[in-house]
Structure 1
Amino acid sequence: IHWSPGSGAHATRGAIRDEWRATGWENGPLGYPTTDEICGLRNGGCYQDFQNGQIHWSPGSGAHATRGAIRDEWRATGWENGPLGYPTTDEVCGLRNGGCYQTYQDGSIHWTSATGAHATHGAIGERWASQNWEQGPLGYPTSDEIATGTGSYQMFEGGAIIWTANGSRTEAITMNSSGLTPTQQDYLRQALPAAVAESQQYGVPVSVALGQSILESGWGGSTLSSRYNNYFGIKCSTSSPYQSGCINMGSGEYLHSSYQIISSSFRTYGSRTDSFLDHGYFLTHNSRYGGAFAHTDDPDRFIREVARAGYATDPNYAQKVINLMNAYNLYQYDI
C-alpha cells in the first residue's frame, strides 16, 4: 500500500503491481496510484489509475502501462472496447524522428512530436506494416482512420492508404515530390488528403480535384484560397453544407471572349478539406455535370465534360487542367 498527500493510500498487487514496479514505482513516469485495482472489464480485464496514466491487464494481454499522448489516443478509440483491444507491450521509443509506439491486440499507436499520436489497425494498418512502417515511403500517420460512404482512408506524412469496402480493396498513395518546389510540395502534402476525402465521398478523380485546385488557387497562393480556403472559385449563387459564409472579391472572367476583372460573391470555408468536399458536392448536386460521372475512370474526359457543361468561362479551362495533370503526373494519385 502506497500513500502520498496528493494521491491517498492505495493497494497494488499481482501483475499490475509487477508492471508498476517495472516502470520505477512512484519515481517512474506513472507516479503514485490514485485508485485501487478495478476489474470487470471486457474479457476479464482489470485496470488501475495512477497520477500520470493507467495499467491495464487481461489474461490474454498481460499488464501494460499507458500514458501521455498514446494513452489519450487509445482512450479516444474506446479503450479496450475499441478496435485496438488491450495493450500488449509498454510504450517503445527510439524510432525515427524521436517517435514512439505501443502495440495492442489488434493494432498499434504511433507518436511523434510533429505528427501526434494516431492508431492504425485492420487492412490499412496491415498495408502500412507491409511498407515498413514509419521507415517506408509513407512515414508516420497524420490522421486516424476516416470513414466515408465507400470505405475509409488514413493520411500519412507521405501520402494516404485507402480501403474500399466494395471488394475489400486497399491501396497506398505515396506523394511524389520529384520536380516540385518546396512551396508546391507543401501545397500537395496538404491538398492530397482533402482531394482523397472528396474522391471517397463523391467520386471525383483525385487528379482532377488537384489539377483544378492548382489552377484556380495558384498552388494555394491566391487571396481567395490563402485567406478564405476557397480553392475552386465556387460562388455563392447557391448554398452548401460545407460553406461558412460569403465574401465579395474581384475575379478574372471571360465575357464575350474578353478577359475582364469583375466583382463576385464567393463561398468561404473553415478548412481546406471543406472546400474540396464542397467541390464534390457542387458537381454531384448540379444535374448538368451528371454526364461527367460516367467517366470517373478517365480523368481527362471527366474534366472535359465538366468544362463543357459550363463550369468555367475560360474556353481553354479543361486543357489547362489537363496540362497540370500531365506536368505533375497527378494521375498517380487516382484511386
Structure 2
Amino acid sequence: PMPQLPHRPQATNTLTPHTPATHASTPADATIWASPEDFVTDIWPHAQRAAQNLNVNPHLIVAQAALETGWGQHVPMTDGKSSFNFFGIKADQRWPGHYVERETMEYESNQFSRQQARFRAYDSMAEGVNDFVDFLKSQPRYRNALQNAHDDRNFLQALQHAGYATDPNYADKIMRIARSETLQNSLTKLKENGQLPLAS
C-alpha cells in the first residue's frame, strides 16, 4: 500500500514579478505526474547521479522527493509550469534566482501550522536535483549527515537533526517511502523496461 503522506496545501503560485521564469520544454513541465511510477521514471536517473555525488542510497533521494511533493502531485508551480523544486528548499535572502511563494506546513510548538514561504524555482529537473546536492554540500550544518551517508537511517536522522525539516517524523517518513511497495514496484518496472540511463 502507498505510505501516508502529509497533506500539501495548494500553492499560491506567484512568482517574484521582477524575475519571470523560463522553463525547459520537457515532460516534467506538466502540472502533475499521472502516477508515482511516472514520477519515479523521470526523477530516477537524476537521483542516481545525485546519489553518486553525495555517496548516499538513490532510493532515499527519490523517497525524499516523493515525501516533499506527494509523488510529484504538489511541486510548487509558476504559471502552470513546474518549479522543479522537489526537496522543499526555501529561497532566503542569499538565493539570487527565481522563487515561488506558496503556503506550506511547518511544525512548531508541538503542532502543524500553515505558513507562507518562498521556495527556489529552477529551469529543469536536472537543475533542481543538482541544487539539492549543492545545498547539502555547501551547508556546514549538514556535514554530519554527509559523513553518515553510508547508513540510510543515520543519514536521514542527521539531516533531520540539522534542521532540514521541522517535522519530527521526517526521517521515518522518508524511510517508509524508500522501503515501500510503491517505490519498489516502480523501480522493478524501470529495470524490466531497461529505462535506467543516467541523466544527461
Q: TM-score range by the shorter chain?
A: 0.5 to 0.7
- CA distance 1:279–1:238, shift in 2 (3 Å): farther
Q: Which runs of 4+ in 1 moved over 4 A?
A: 329-333
The 5 Å alignment of 1:193-208 reads: 193-208=45-60
1:173 aligns to what? none
Aligned Cα RMSD in Å? 2.5
1:309 to 162, 166, 175: 162
Number of equivalenced pairs: 151
What runs of 5+ residues in structure 2 fail to find an aligned partner? 1-32, 192-200
1:248 aligns to what? 101
Aligned equivalents of 1:229, 1:244: Cα separation in 2? 13
Superposition deviation, residue 244 in structure 1: 4.2
1:300 aligns to what? 153
1:192 aligns to what? 44
Superposition deviation, residue 312 in structure 1: 0.4
> Contact 2:75–2:83 (CA<8 Å) still a contact in 1?
yes
The 5 Å alignment of 1:82-93 reads: none
The answer to whether structure 1 residue 235 and structure 2 residue 87 are counterparts is no
The answer to whether structure 1 residue 212 and structure 2 residue 64 are counterparts is yes
Q: Select the structure with the greater relative contact order (CA < 8 A; seq sep ≥ 6).
A: 2
> Contact 1:249–1:265 (CA<8 Å) still a contact in 2?
yes
Aligned equivalents of 2:187, 2:172: Cα separation in 1? 15
1:222 to 74, 90, 102: 74
SS in 2 for 1:199: helix
Deviations 1:212-232 (A, max 9, x none): 100001111114166211111
More strand by share: 1
- CA distance 1:209–1:223, shift in 2 (3 Å): closer
The 5 Å alignment of 1:1-335 reads: 183-224=35-76, 227-237=82-92, 239=94, 244-327=97-180, 328-329=183-184
- Letter aligned with residue 73 of structure 2: G
Tell me which structure has the larger Cα radius of gyration. Answer: 1
> Contact 2:67–2:173 (CA<8 Å) still a contact in 1?
yes
> Contact 1:197–1:273 (CA<8 Å) still a contact in 2?
no
- Letter aligned with residue 300 of structure 1: R
More helix by share: 2
Superposition deviation, residue 239 in structure 1: 4.4
- CA distance 1:223–1:306, shift in 2 (3 Å): closer
Aligned equivalents of 1:273, 1:238: Cα separation in 2? 23
SS in 1 for 2:113: strand
Q: Give identity over the alignment, percent.
A: 27
